[in-house]
């Protein structure tokens, strides 16, 4: 009997020619193994499924043993935020570019599916962040992020000024283009381009990475994962600032409001092929060198 009997399929949007063939091949193979396939809206559209077949992601998560994402890291981020509360594991087939999170090649679909159905896979748990816009009167809705929460300027060429607090303790005031608050998973995303450190995803930590700080001594900071972070933007800059979760959800910052960020109670469970190696993926994606051949000394 398959280790997973019902699999949800989530497809990348906006590139039907690339996605359709992989999607059809995946569903055909799963059904040949007597696995029930449930489709999200984009998957149903690309496969010309009957009207009413598409299932919203939260419902999909309650009905599946596994969710397979066909796309890039952005598609997986979207699926992770929508399904994390239900504890369903995710696996990604990479049709994007970098693919730190979606690490299965389309060429290996049948082999990897067989391994997964036999229960032969690697699993890890990834922490998430939650962000709220706070005022003296109330707190706004909670938004989640698997990679990062970015506080950044959006309609001005000048820097913004803000203060950072950790567990209520003042840390610093800075002038910069903003601040990235990231999980270890997000250390290979926006935080990497901001000069932040690469952090093993197994660590319980939160990264604070300034964006183009005016003060060159203002360096990235790594703190324990249970810390609560607050960012207070100076009043005259608040109209120029947005808060973005995973680059996909945008929150406005009203006057006299501030941002509160902390670890989310839910985690994302990712499944990988057997012998998955995080550092091998980083070597490949970041073009790190391997062992160099010894050269004979020149005469």
Query: Which tens digit of pLDDT belongs to each residue from 92-116?
Result: 999 977 679 999 999 999 999 999 9
Residue 270 pLDDT > 70: yes
Backbone angles phi, psi at 129, to 5 degrees: -110, 155
Averaged pLDDT for residues 115-134: 96
Averaged pLDDT for residues 29-58: 96
HSE of 225, CA atoms in CB hemisphere, 13 A: 18
Instruction: Please enumerate in sequence order all residues whose Cβ is within 8 A of that of 217, keeping only pairs 6 or more positions apart, or say none.
Output: none
- Of 289, 281, 288, 290, which Cα lies nearest the Cα of 98? 281
Provide the annotated active-site residues.
73
Q: What are 268's two structure tokens?
A: 């994302």
Averaged pLDDT for residues 162-183: 97
Choice among 18-22, 33-37, 220-224 with the minimum mean pLDDT: 18-22
For residues 179 and 220, what is the distance between their CA atoms, to the nearest angstrom?
10
Q: Please tell me the predicted confidence (pLDDT) of residue 24.
A: 95
> Would you place residue 299 in the very low, low, confident or very high pLDDT band (cuts 50, 70, 90)?
very low
Percent of residues, the chain, with pLDDT higher than 90: 77
Q: Model confidence over 272-286: pLDDT tens digits?
A: 999 888 898 899 888
Residue 90 pLDDT > 50: yes
Three-state SS for the chain is CCCCCEEEEEECCCCHHHHHHHHHHHHHHHHHCCCEEEECHHHHHHCCCCCCCCCCHHHHHHHCCEEEEEECHHHHHHHHHHHHHHCCCEEEEECCCCCCCCCECHHHHHHHHHHHHCCCEEEEEEEEEEEEEECCCCECCCEEECCEEEEEECCCCCCEEEEEEECCEEEEEEEECEEEEECCHHHHCHHHHCCCCCCCCCCCEEEEEEECCCCCCCCCEEEECCCCEEEEECHHHHHHEEEEECCCEEEECCCCCEEEEEEEEEEEEEEEECCCCHHHHHHHHHCCCCCCCCCCCCC
Max intra-chain CA distance, the chain: 77
Q: Which residue has 């990988």 as its token pair?
A: 272
What's the whole-model pTM score?
0.92
> Would you place residue 294 in the very low, low, confident or very high pLDDT band (cuts 50, 70, 90)?
very low
The more confidently predicted of residues 2 and 85 is: 85
For residues 176 and 244, what is the distance between their CA atoms, to the nearest angstrom?
16
Q: Please tell me the predicted confidence (pLDDT) of residue 14.
A: 79
What domains sit in the chain, N to C, each tagged with a CATH number? 6-119 (3.40.50.10330), 128-265 (2.60.200.30)
């Amino acid at each position: 009997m398959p280790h997973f009997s019902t699999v949800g399929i989530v497809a990348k949007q906006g590139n039907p020619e690339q996605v359709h063939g992989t999607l059809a091949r995946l569903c055909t193979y799963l059904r040949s193994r007597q696995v029930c396939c449930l489709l999200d809206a984009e998957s149903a559209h690309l496969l010309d499924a009957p009207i009413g077949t598409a299932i919203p992601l939260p419902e999909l998560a309650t009905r599946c043993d596994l969710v397979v994402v066909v796309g890039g890291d952005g598609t997986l981020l979207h699926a992770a935020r929508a399904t994390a509360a239900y504890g369903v594991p995710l696996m990604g087939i990479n049709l994007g570019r970098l693919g730190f999170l979606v690490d299965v090649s389309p060429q290996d679909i049948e082999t990897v599916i067989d391994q997964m159905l036999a229960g032969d896979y690697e699993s890890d748990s990834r922490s998430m962040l939650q962000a709220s816009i706070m005022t003296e009167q109330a707190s706004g809705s909670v938004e989640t992020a698997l990679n990062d929460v970015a506080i950044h300027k959006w309609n001005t060429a000048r820097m913004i000024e803000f203060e950072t607090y950790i567990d209520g303790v003042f840390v610093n005031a800075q002038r910069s283009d903003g601040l990235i608050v990231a999980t270890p998973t997000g250390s290979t995303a926006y935080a990497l381009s901001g000069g932040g450190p690469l952090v093993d995803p197994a660590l319980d930590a939160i990264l604070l990475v300034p964006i183009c700080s005016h003060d060159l001594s203002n360096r990235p900071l790594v703190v324990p994962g249970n810390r609560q972070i607050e960012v207070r933007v100076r009043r005259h800059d608040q109209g120029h600032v947005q808060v973005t979760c995973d680059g996909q959800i945008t929150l406005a910052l009203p006057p006299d409001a501030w941002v509160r960020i902390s670890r989310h109670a839910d985690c994302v469970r990712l499944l990988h092929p057997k012998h998955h190696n995080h550092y091998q993926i980083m070597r490949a994606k970041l073009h790190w060198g391997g062992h160099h051949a010894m050269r004979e000394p020149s005469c």
